[in-house]
């Protein structure tokens, strides 16, 4: 068959995490539980920040944005996976696959940028505490969020438009539980060299940039903490960024782990299973990390529950 994109009839098959049909109900229950916990946990963080005037600060403004993005991030992949398991169908349409990749790239990029922005916020708070409210004013906070959205939207649009240029021969199998960008490119019949170049350049610029910003911010933060004379002062300064540091470590360690494992091994099934860590587990754990280590969030959540 000659390569060609007939978007009305072309379908992809998402092979999922396990071929054994007996495991499907267990996988369904497991992912449904994690998805509900993720949505509920992040939604509570957003409601707590909105309802408590004490949390109307730049740090919690960025946190509520991160929680919103995490809800959207998991909603891009998990609902379709649950529907496929329930209907015992592995099919996803061409348009559905491109749409899923678009929003996955969008919200993954936003997660990346928001963690970098939050690192900068902690840098200003610890290294320039007297000028914190002047530097992190409403205008700058809004601008940082706007730039993150604009860059992420443009990047996702670029990747989607590049995918549309590819040709696919027939119904194809994707050894993943969602339409993953690299897996889809490997299924193309036409030359995908330009797509791979764009992915590598975008990964270097849009991935390396935020990571460099986070590393720079924490180098400055560590230097400032070391200069504090009292142990209590050092502990207080470190505690203000401990939650963010935990989330950053979890996000980058899991995503980089998946990337490196996919580069080393050719086992796509193992890569798909490892991808669960940064696509599902990390967004689910973020609310717990921030709420368990943050007295202000705990207090806001208690007030929110008392209102109900």
Average pLDDT value for the chain: 88
Domain count of the fold of the chain: 1
Could you tell me the residue range of the domain that residue 195 belongs to?
Answer: 11-307
Residue 3 has pLDDT above 50, yes or no: no
pLDDT digits (tens, 9 = 90+) for 232-289: 888 888 888 888 898 998 888 888 777 766 655 555 666 777 788 888 999 999 888 8
Confidence at residue 16, expressed as pLDDT on a 0 to 100 scale: 82
Confidence at residue 299, expressed as pLDDT on a 0 to 100 scale: 85
Spatial neighbors of 201 by CB under 8 A, at least 6 apart, are: none
pLDDT > 70 fraction of the chain, expressed in percent and rounded: 92
Q: Do residues 203 and 180 touch, judged by C-beta distance below 8 A?
A: no
Structural domain includes residue 267: yes
Rounded to an integer, what is the distance from CA 220 to the centroid of its chain?
25
pTM of the model: 0.92
Structural domain includes residue 6: no
- Among 87-101, 195-209, 266-280, the range scoring the smallest mean pLDDT is 266-280
Strands 91-93 and 172-174: unpaired
CATH, residue 210: 1.20.1070.10
pLDDT digits (tens, 9 = 90+) for 172-194: 888 889 999 988 998 888 889 99
What is the spatial distance between Cα 198 and Cα 17, in angstroms, rounded to a whole number?
Answer: 28
Structural domain includes residue 22: yes
Count Cβ atoms below 10 Å from residue 185 Cβ, excluding itself: 18
Structural domain includes residue 234: yes
Structural domain includes residue 90: yes
């Amino acid at each position: 068959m000659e390569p060609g994109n007939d978007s009305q009839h072309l379908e992809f098959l998402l092979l999922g995490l396990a071929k054994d049909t007996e495991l499907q109900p267990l996988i369904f229950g497991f992912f449904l539980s994690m998805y509900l916990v993720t949505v509920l946990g992040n939604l509570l963080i957003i409601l707590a920040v909105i309802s408590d005037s004490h949390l109307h600060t730049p740090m919690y403004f960025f946190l509520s944005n991160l929680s919103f993005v995490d809800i959207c991030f998991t909603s891009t992949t998990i609902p379709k996976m649950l529907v496929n398991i329930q209907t015992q169908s592995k099919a996803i349409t061409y348009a559905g696959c491109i749409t899923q990749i678009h929003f996955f790239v969008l919200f993954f990029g936003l997660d990346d940028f928001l963690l970098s922005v939050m690192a900068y916020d902690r840098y200003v708070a610890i290294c320039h505490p007297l000028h914190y409210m002047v530097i992190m004013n409403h205008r700058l906070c809004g601008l940082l969020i706007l730039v993150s959205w604009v860059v992420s939207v443009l990047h996702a649009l670029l990747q989607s438009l590049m995918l549309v240029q590819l040709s696919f021969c027939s119904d194809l199998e994707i050894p993943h539980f969602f339409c993953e960008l690299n897996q889809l490119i490997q299924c193309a019949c036409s030359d995908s060299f330009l797509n791979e170049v764009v992915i590598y350049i975008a990964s270097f610029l849009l991935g390396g940039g935020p990571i460099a910003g986070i590393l720079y911010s924490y180098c400055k933060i560590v230097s400032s903490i070391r200069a504090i004379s009292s142990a209590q002062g050092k502990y207080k300064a470190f505690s203000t960024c401990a939650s963010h540091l935990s989330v950053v470590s979890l996000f980058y360690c899991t995503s980089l782990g998946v990337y490196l494992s996919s580069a080393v091994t050719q086992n796509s099934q193992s890569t798909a299973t490892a991808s669960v860590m940064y696509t599902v587990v990390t967004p689910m754990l973020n609310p717990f990390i921030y709420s368990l280590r943050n007295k202000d969030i705990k207090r806001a959540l208690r007030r929110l529950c008392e209102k109900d």
